[in-house]
């Protein structure tokens, strides 16, 4: 996956962030939480190490949709920004908020058992169900 530094921010610019280090994983997540939180029919996330991840400007607002993870968004404009599992050493960035989102390509689909038909699975990518089985 790509190395180097990533930067991005929300729609209004109040929240900016930087991430150093390699992108660990990029996925299209089709789960119901990612669909609702993004407002899109699937969400694309780039996981980066927490070490080297820095938020600049406003602190994002937070929401816990489950008891094991926090989702972050801009409290001013509402942009979906991040999600992080409690205690994890990685944080997932909403790829659409990256300044250079074109440089990031997904490597897998997740939660495809609840995928909406409008989002075609990329046949080049592995696809996984919530229970870990490969489609
Ligand atoms: Zn904003
Ligand atoms: Zn999801």
What is the distance in A from the centroid of ligand 2 to the CA of 7? 22
> Does residue 1 have a pLDDT over 70?
no
Exposed / middle / buried, residue 44 (Cβ in 10 Å: 0-12, 13-18, 19+): buried
Distance 96 CA to ligand 1 centre (A): 13
Ligand 2 is an ion; its neighbours by CB within 5 Å are 29, 31, 34
- Regarding pTM above 0.75, the answer is yes
Rounded to the nearest whole angstrom, what is the distance from the C-alpha of residue 135 to the centroid of ligand 1? Answer: 37
For residue 128, tell me if it sits in a domain.
Answer: no
Domain that holds residue 108: 6-10+25-114
Q: pLDDT tens digits, residue range 56-102?
A: 999 999 999 999 999 999 999 999 999 999 999 999 999 999 999 99
pLDDT-above-90 percentage for the chain: 94
Q: What residues have a C-beta under 5 A from ligand 1, the ion?
A: 10, 12, 14, 74, 76-77
Hey, what are 101's tokens?
């989102």
Does residue 120 form part of some domain?
no
Structural domain total, the chain:
1
Q: Note whether residue 100 is domain-resident.
A: yes
**Encoded tokens for 130:** 């919530």
Could you tell me if residue 131 is inside a domain? no
């Amino acid at each position: 996956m790509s190395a180097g530094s990533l930067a991005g921010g929300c729609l209004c610019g109040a929240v900016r962030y930087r991430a150093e280090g390699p992108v660990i994983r990029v996925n299209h997540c089709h789960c119901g939480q990612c669909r609702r939180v993004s407002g899109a029919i699937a969400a694309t996330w780039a996981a980066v190490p927490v070490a080297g991840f820095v938020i600049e400007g406003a602190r994002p607002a937070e929401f816990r949709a489950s008891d094991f993870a926090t989702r972050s968004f801009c409290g001013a404009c509402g942009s979906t920004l991040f999600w992080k599992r409690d205690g994890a050493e990685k944080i997932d960035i909403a790829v659409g908020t990256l300044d250079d989102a074109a440089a990031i390509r997904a490597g897998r689909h997740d939660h495809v058992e609840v995928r909406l038909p409008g989002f075609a699975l990329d046949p080049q990518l592995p696809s996984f169900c919530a229970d870990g089985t490969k489609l």
